[in-house]
Structure 1
Amino acid sequence: MLFNAIRWNPSEGLDLGILTIHYYSVMFLIAFTLGWYIMKRIFIRENIEVEKLDSLFIYTVLATLIGARLGHVIFYDWDYFQNHLLEIFLPVRFEPEFEFTGFRGLASHGAAIGIIVAMYLYTKRILQKPVLFILDRIVIPVASGAIFVRIGNFINSEIIGKPTNSDYGVIFEKLGEDFPRHPAQLYESISYLVIFLILWFIYWKTEKRFKLGYIFGLFLVLLWTVRFFVEFVKEAQVEERAMWLFNTGQWLSIPFIIAGLYFMFRPAQKTYTT
């Protein structure tokens, strides 16, 4: 039946003998590559030199990875990392025994902050346009990239949902379980696809793109509202700090939603014309 549980136990990647190509890494590669092509189309439409796209790509990749890692460390697992600072940017764990972990532990809230800071630096040093101009446009490929990142999480059986207590759901056999959970990763991935299509339509088909901050604000509202509600069916990634009413992820989402509403409906909206 359609709502019967699905057993999920894929390999982590393609084993080529001398190395393994991890599907999660492939998803990140697809996300950044697709984002590059989307921004190229936008740069051409805005009559911006395509040569400036390479710098934007570097700023975005570094901001995403560094911001996401620091976000996880600070917001979710500082109790551990405050005594293991060397492990923050190393793919290993030294305690309780040495273990190669890979670069795990990334927080989208940190990635968002990192990208905002990076776009500020990028506009000041290279683009010479208002920071909201690039934020209104960079969120379109960011939304598309989030689709594939969550698919990667699903493949890795991480950021899992809570038990459904029914026949519906996904049984993550890799975790040694025999009961179905909510496929929270897929809930988010599908939602991000919808958000991407909305932002794409607004930018290409409406005059809203001329209102500085509007698309950026809409992105914040849509994406973090999705995150807020999906958190209700997600398991905590680490021991939660925020236990009153909402979890850590939800409390961190609220300021982004409020900021998004401000940029969408602020009284004195500036406009940008090409």
Structure 2
Amino acid sequence: MLQHPQFDPVAVSLGPLQIHWYGLTYLVGFLAGWWLGRLRARQPGSPLNEEQVGDLLFYIALGVILGGRFGYVLFYNFDVFLADPLWLFRVWEGGMSFHGGLLGVMLAMWWFGRKAGCGFFAMADFVAPLVPIGLGAGRLGNFINGELWGKPTEVAWGMVFPQAPDSLARHPSQLYQFALEGVALFLILWFFSAKPRPRMAVSGLFLVCYGVFRFLVEFVRQPDPQLGYLAFDWLTMGQVLSFPMILAGAALMFVAYRRNPQ
């Protein structure tokens, strides 16, 4: 079995100021999205120019942070919120949700698209290939913090996480998600979107692939302790939230290619 390296979660300390690795992963995700967005803006038919990408990034950052926090509170800790509504604003105590962040980003794309004179799905197809780098960076941040570990396992690469309630070897599910949601999803979407595709096809593929990857990893990821399994001794909140993504993505791709079979 392997031992978690027990990284110091603080990357840099400057007197009372502490910069955490998890915060740096968000910065990496946003910077990578900005750089890749400028590359996509140079492609023929792009709904945005290079100068607009920076403005879009600001809206998306708001969507990720606000949506991610609201989603975590509503989907995973609503009872805590009801008992202490101000807990919603104590973001330094941790807690972000991808599915909430996705809803926040969708709202941000709609808002910015209206200002830029672009349709929602034009924005969604533009943004979708930029997202996986940030997702992958975030999962590395989870691994550095030693959080969101997997279930106990006997596989050779099972890892003991000191923050876990026991000393059992567990799936390093954060690294599985990094490989799937970060690396694999980026490669799929980047090469798929390199050629002209029907409107909604790229965003539809994003929803399908992320939903499938997340649904599968949830089988080896330890469920949130305050929720546990929702049904059947295996169904998690992550799977409940991911399944509609798969259906919606498949529907978008069906409509996209139905309208434009070529």
TM-score with structure 2 length normalisation?
Answer: 0.90
Query: Residue 186 of structure 2 aligns with which residue?
Result: 196
CA distance in 2, matches of 1:48, 1:113: 21
C-alpha displacement at 1:251, in angstroms? 0.7
Q: RMSD across aligned C-alpha pairs, in angstroms? A: 1.9
Q: Determine helix, strand or coil for the equivalent of 1:21.
A: strand
CA distance in 2, matches of 1:188, 1:142: 14
Query: Residue 171 of structure 1 aligns with which residue?
Result: 160
C-alpha displacement at 1:113, in angstroms? 1.0
C-alpha displacement at 1:187, in angstroms? 0.2
Q: Determine helix, strand or coil for the equivalent of 1:221.
A: helix
Query: Residue 97 of structure 1 aligns with which residue?
Result: none
Extract unaligned runs of 5+ from structure 1. Answer: 92-101
Contact 2:80 2:87 in 1 (8 A): no
Q: Determine helix, strand or coil for the equivalent of 1:207.
A: coil
Pairing partner for 2:97 from 97, 103, 107: 107
C-alpha displacement at 1:70, in angstroms? 0.6
C-alpha displacement at 1:8, in angstroms? 2.6
Q: Determine helix, strand or coil for the equivalent of 1:233.
A: coil
C-alpha displacement at 1:244, in angstroms? 1.5
Return the letter of the residue paired with 2:216: F
C-alpha displacement at 1:238, in angstroms? 3.7
Alpha-carbon distance change, 47 to 253 in structure 1, aligned in 2, over 3 angstroms = closer
Q: Residues 131-166 of structure 1, C-alpha deviation per residue, up to 9 Å, x if partnerless?
A: 101101211111111010000000001111111145
C-alpha displacement at 1:89, in angstroms? 1.6
Q: Determine helix, strand or coil for the equivalent of 2:4.
A: strand
CA distance in 2, matches of 1:162, 1:6: 15
Query: Residue 70 of structure 1 aligns with which residue?
Result: 70
Contact 1:9 1:174 in 2 (8 A): no
Pairing partner for 1:41 from 39, 42, 57: 39
CA distance in 2, matches of 1:217, 1:22: 34
C-alpha displacement at 1:9, in angstroms? 1.1
C-alpha displacement at 1:180, in angstroms? 1.3
Extract unaligned runs of 5+ from structure 2. Answer: none
Query: Residue 13 of structure 1 aligns with which residue?
Result: 10
Contact 1:68 1:111 in 2 (8 A): yes
Alpha-carbon distance change, 7 to 214 in structure 1, aligned in 2, over 3 angstroms = same
CA distance in 2, matches of 1:222, 1:68: 20
Pairing partner for 2:255 from 251, 254, 266: 266
The reply on whether 1:233 has 2:230 as its aligned counterpart is no
CA distance in 1, matches of 2:4, 2:39: 40
Q: Determine helix, strand or coil for the equivalent of 2:113.
A: helix
TM-score with structure 1 length normalisation?
Answer: 0.86
CA distance in 2, matches of 1:50, 1:220: 25
The reply on whether 1:122 has 2:112 as its aligned counterpart is yes
Contact 1:90 1:103 in 2 (8 A): yes
Contact 2:201 2:256 in 1 (8 A): no
Paired-residue identity, %: 30
Contact 1:136 1:215 in 2 (8 A): yes
Contact 1:69 1:110 in 2 (8 A): yes
The reply on whether 1:186 has 2:175 as its aligned counterpart is yes
Contact 1:76 1:241 in 2 (8 A): no
Return the letter of the residue paired with 1:119: M
Contact 2:204 2:253 in 1 (8 A): yes
